[in-house]
Structure 1
């Protein structure tokens, strides 16, 4: 336990002066602290530890002063001058610690959050002042919110190109998980949309994606592709978010499959007069042939939730023995049988053997018929522009040979909302991406 003068703590704000003892016959490795009530000498074991104490105490003293000044701004020309001095102090400090650069960014983000009525010119001046700190540091969440607002309100500002471009490039190259900081992802999304608002919008976006990949055939940054895909998926979902929230009965995945198949085969709906699928019949037949060898009827228990009346079928030839009563097939079994027949037909058309899957591949549905006639989706104009921008980015990502296998793995679970898969415009764009995944060297 400290005793005497050191029984009470000394705040950093009460330090009046801080210096190293350098005169002759002075105690070795000492730091002198001047307080209103006296002086304190701190003696270290060596010169390295003494210098570390000195710079750390000096940092604490200065950061307290800047926080006090910037928390109570009076004149914005003075505030801007203090921000530049704070950034310069952080960049020239010999200390190596994450908080050396993060503390000034948090102070400035608090300043911007508490003063939302600043002019656009003040915004740009502050962004230019803190730009050197952002070269090697991710912006904190509050600062990301400020950057997003600037991208939305001033997409054609030169700050977006000159300052935000290296920041977003660093985020895409080094970020490991957008789930831990979703505002970094939102800032990246707003930055790309700001590029899209320029005169040659999509060309600028293409150049940005190419700059992230690099001029060589292999991208040297393994995190760029997953981060870009995460940004695209979140942006595409946001386009349908309002539609999803406003519609109670959104289409199910089976409805989308069924709609694709019906439009592909151009066949009327399968009637409910079906027997058990024994023996197998050609896909074109709508009624299964009656068995000549009578067997005991096997009636499945009726389903209470979806009762389907059965229609008995009698033999039309009097000389033949009567067939056993038909088995009742509910609507879900009809749908599965229809999917099985259609899937087998699709495989035969492609020239490959049937794999015996009971459900078709949704990718095949999208390739054959991306539109679903049973659902009409109209997005707002802004959401439509966002969808077009990020769908084009997915198409650009699929054009790079080294990214294509990883992109196929990321999109294999079909990470899109059901409404997107029922939207003709989106599935038309997704059609291109899926076709790029086809490998002509692989035998089907």
Structure 2
């Protein structure tokens, strides 16, 4: 039996703001602490500031009190919901570690509350704007190339054409165990079916400003590049060493320099504990930008793009998932992380139809994700992912990549 979380939390009407807490007696103690505190603070402000205020200001304060009370009630309700999401996730992880079967009871089957109360009103009086530290700039291709030259005296070898990069990616991906369907459909989803090897999030389809460091066919972040160099660097070094051995003359000299740079990058990436947070720290430095520049290189870039997906395939296989991942399933692992993605992938279809997508998100990430909110079960999210892949696979870039395979 799945009990409603929402039934346990009372919504707070405006009357609570306008009636003294003392007059409510014991009823006030029954409210969630966040709501009680908000009400007490708002009552104090409302009556203390009322004298001499204009009608517009009084109306604003009334609406603001109403808004604050509604938000406090919502936050109490949402907090309880997301706490249960967290506890259920811990239970599933523990059951997996001990080899126990996961059932519907291990998920929250209600959808999360969404705020539907009044909007925050606009203050008619001038307000002080708090000083905010300037946003850190997001590096673009020019910054990555500059960093690579500064830290490693190296310039990535760019392909002579987009098709050359696609062919290099297709060769390496197939040899490594990715299928044409996986590679082409994930590319279609990530880039809209038209992205180039150096496409960056925000600077595509007419965009003018980078919104993240995500770059290339599978949209690697700087942290992804650092992590892959740390975890798969030995494979990159092996593959590039073989190419050096087959080359001669000036081409060999250039490859030997690239190999020396690659070894330095791998050593630096391995110099910290193998955790996302430590790799992120490097990724946020100019040395991390220099490592990320390798996504642009005709030899290393295809390997980075391949292993961004291949690590998920190998993770699923290591966990006993033997059938090939569909492209949509692989994309779920690519988007949410291997552990969370596998949770969705291993779920029987009947459960996918019932389990809300909120089970696989943190609260902040879910509330900022309109796709997960709109397509709010695992089955719906996978279906819309497939639909987007179907649509974008017919575009020129996707057709060219499919031909490269």
Q: Give TM-score, length-normalised by structure 1.
A: 0.26
| More relative contact order, 1 or 2 (CA 8 Å, 6+ apart) | 2
Q: Which has the larger radius of gyration?
A: 1
Q: Which has the higher helix share?
A: 2
Q: Give TM-score, length-normalised by structure 2.
A: 0.28
